[in-house]
Amino acid sequence: MQGLAASVVLIALLFGVLLLVAFDVFCLVHLAAADRVRLLPKLAWAVVIVCISPAGGLVYLLSQRCPKRSPGSYHLFSGRA
């Protein structure tokens, strides 16, 4: 039974590593396809994504979401009926 438990743990670890690699590849493909990136050059983002996995990929994706708007550019209520 101990061998079975060890193999289950090994499979879980391999699955986790596979998910991390897939996430890094996704972030790198997203980076390569981007026309413009914010805060850092593309090469620096690639290094951050690969070296600080998975936090680097999360930081990259969150930093590239949508451009910040000025506070006056949108309103909850337009004042019109």
Distance CA 57, CA 27 (A): 6
In a domain, 51, yes or no: yes
pTM (whole model) above 0.85: no
- Please tell me the total count of domains within the chain: 1
What confidence score (pLDDT) does residue 2 get? 79
Residue 54: is the preceding peptide bond cis (ω within 30°)? yes
Residue type at 26 in one-letter notation: F
Q: How many CA atoms lie within 13 A of 54 on its CB side?
A: 11
Range of the domain at 51: 22-67
Radius of gyration of the chain (CA): 20
Q: Are the CB atoms for 43 and 51 separated by under 8 Å?
A: no
Overall average pLDDT of the 18-32 stretch: 97
In a domain, 36, yes or no: yes
Instruction: Quick: pLDDT tens for 38-59.
Output: 999 999 999 999 999 899 999 9
